[in-house]
Amino acid sequence: MVGKHITTENSRMKMFDVIISGGAMAGATLALALDASFGGKLRIAVVESCDFTAQAHPGFDARSIALSDGTVQILRAYQLWDAIEPYATPISRIHVSDRGHAGMTDLEAGRLGMSALGYVVELADVGQVYHRLLQERPAISLFCPATIHSVERTTDEVRVRLDEQSILHGKLLIAADGNASTCCRQLGIDPEIHDFEQVAVIANVELSQPHQGQAFERFTSCGPLALLPMTRQRMSMVWCVRPDSLADMTDQDDETFLARLQQTFGWRLGKMNRVGTRVAYPLKLTYRSRAVSHRFAIIGNAAQTLHPIAGQGFNLGIRDIATLVEEVRRHPDDVGCYAALSAFQHRRTPDRQKTMAMTSGLVHIFSNEWFPAVVGRNLGLMAIDNLPVLKQPLLTRTLGHVSR
């Protein structure tokens, strides 16, 4: 049985080429990308512990993410973008500033000859699209809800036992199940963790006037504040604050919180009329230095979970996906062989390290209120805005036009 929920009434032993642990953004994208790249000839299992519906799945909750132009190009190559685009809001301009200081820089799509710098999508919308596409692909089997109870590897295959006792055999197991990855834990691949000592407060904000596709990254005394354009005259807010400020941010009534947000951000978007439910997430850099092991690969947040300061998380993860797909395609007879995984590790290491260094560096630079640091970062922002040689590296990573 393929493309449907698998139950305990099915045969206990099942043969696949690839087994993917995790069916949210990274896992679902990878399954669909592999299916498209192999023309539906690869047998793929997706094991997901949560009920795979947009309403119940925490991986497809009320949050929004920004997709860079490079990410859109990858999704288009896998015939996924056409299904997602109706739910996407284009970003026409990105404004980066340090509140109360002169430093700022602008990126504008029109000046670059582009229709959009990127797009914003709501995870709940993408979840519905992906759920439908997964069910339509006959070579993809969903084991959901199900959890991986144990993993055993031999020279030629990997065997995964599910909690309901089904055994999946495959050539390659891929962890796409987040920073607390069950597979990684069972195989003893522990992450390095750096606590940013910040919490992200996330909510949707309704405006009194059109946002015109503008996105903002503003560094405030409370922490970085990002506002991304959404449908229906809304902005997706991510406000990173210290843990000791969290109670004030979440316990305030909507009117008081909106007044604080308005005062901190200003009036570039006009009056902010309403705010939705506020949710908080602790911010830590979680990084696994090796993204492969014997017949095992790690992608997305399972490989690295970043600070949201520059919106690089999923965009970095989809480059993991694209590179892994390219390497396993070179070895269609054994998609989990050492050569494929070694090449994947070698190609992904520079991008992962540079992106993590950039995002972590921005956090520390713009969270420092020491006066020389404030002066230095504002001079840096002004220099980036006026000197193309400095602006190009920022533009390259923002657009996702990064070498893999």
Q: Which two tokens stand for residue 404?
A: 């893999």
The whole-number pLDDT of residue 377 equals: 41
Q: In angstroms, how far apart are the furthest CA atoms of the chain? A: 67
CA distance linking residue 338 with residue 177, whole number of Å: 22
Q: Which residues contact 387 (CB under 8 A, 6 or more apart)?
A: none
Q: Which residues contact 142 (CB under 8 A, 6 or more apart)?
A: 3, 4, 5, 6, 23, 46, 48, 52, 134, 135
Q: pLDDT tens digits, residue range 244-269?
A: 989 888 899 999 999 999 999 999 99
The whole-number pLDDT of residue 62 equals: 64
Structural contact between residues 91 and 118, judged by C-beta atoms closer than 8 angstroms = yes
DSSP 8-state code for residue 112: G
Taking residues 125-134, what's their average pLDDT?
Answer: 93
The whole-number pLDDT of residue 204 equals: 94
Query: b or e along 270-284 (b: 16 or more beta carbons within 10 Å of the residue's beta carbon)?
Result: eebeebeebebeebb
The whole-number pLDDT of residue 383 equals: 42
Q: pLDDT tens digits, residue range 279-288?
A: 999 999 999 9
The whole-number pLDDT of residue 386 equals: 47
Q: Which two tokens stand for residue 290?
A: 């090796």
Q: pLDDT tens digits, residue range 166-183?
A: 999 999 999 999 999 999
The whole-number pLDDT of residue 2 equals: 36
Binning pLDDT at 50, 70 and 90, where does residue 50 land? confident
Residue 153: burial class (beta carbons within 10 Å; 0-12, 13-18, 19+): middle
Binning pLDDT at 50, 70 and 90, where does residue 55 land? low
What beta strand segments (E) does 208-313 contain?
214-220, 223-230, 234-241, 272-275, 279-287, 292-293, 296-298, 304-305
Ranked by mean pLDDT, the top range of 131-135, 231-235, 326-330 is 326-330
Q: pLDDT tens digits, residue range 320-374?
A: 999 999 999 999 999 999 999 999 999 999 999 999 987 887 776 555 444 444 4
The whole-number pLDDT of residue 54 equals: 44
Binning pLDDT at 50, 70 and 90, where does residue 387 land? very low
Percentage of the chain with pLDDT > 70?
A: 84
Structural contact between residues 74 and 322, judged by C-beta atoms closer than 8 angstroms = yes
Structural contact between residues 17 and 33, judged by C-beta atoms closer than 8 angstroms = no
End-to-end CA distance of the chain: 36
Binning pLDDT at 50, 70 and 90, where does residue 224 land? confident
The whole-number pLDDT of residue 222 equals: 74
Q: Which residues contact 221 (CB under 8 A, 6 or more apart)?
A: 99, 100, 369
CA distance linking residue 263 with residue 110, whole number of Å: 30
Binning pLDDT at 50, 70 and 90, where does residue 305 land? very high
| Residue entry with tokens 């992962």 | 352
- Closest CA relative to residue 211, chosen from 272, 121, 123, 276: 272
Write down all domains in the chain, each with its CATH number in brackets. 13-66+123-192+284-359 (3.50.50.60), 82-121+194-283 (3.30.9.10)
More confident call, 402 vs 175:
175
Taking residues 380-399, what's their average pLDDT?
Answer: 57
Binning pLDDT at 50, 70 and 90, where does residue 391 land? low
The whole-number pLDDT of residue 158 equals: 98
Binning pLDDT at 50, 70 and 90, where does residue 100 land? very low
The whole-number pLDDT of residue 384 equals: 43
CA distance linking residue 163 with residue 161, whole number of Å: 7
The whole-number pLDDT of residue 57 equals: 54
Q: Which two tokens stand for residue 371?
A: 């006066």
Structural contact between residues 131 and 53, judged by C-beta atoms closer than 8 angstroms = yes
| Residue entry with tokens 């993410």 | 65
Percentage of the chain with pLDDT > 90?
A: 69
Q: Which two tokens stand for residue 338?
A: 């050492």
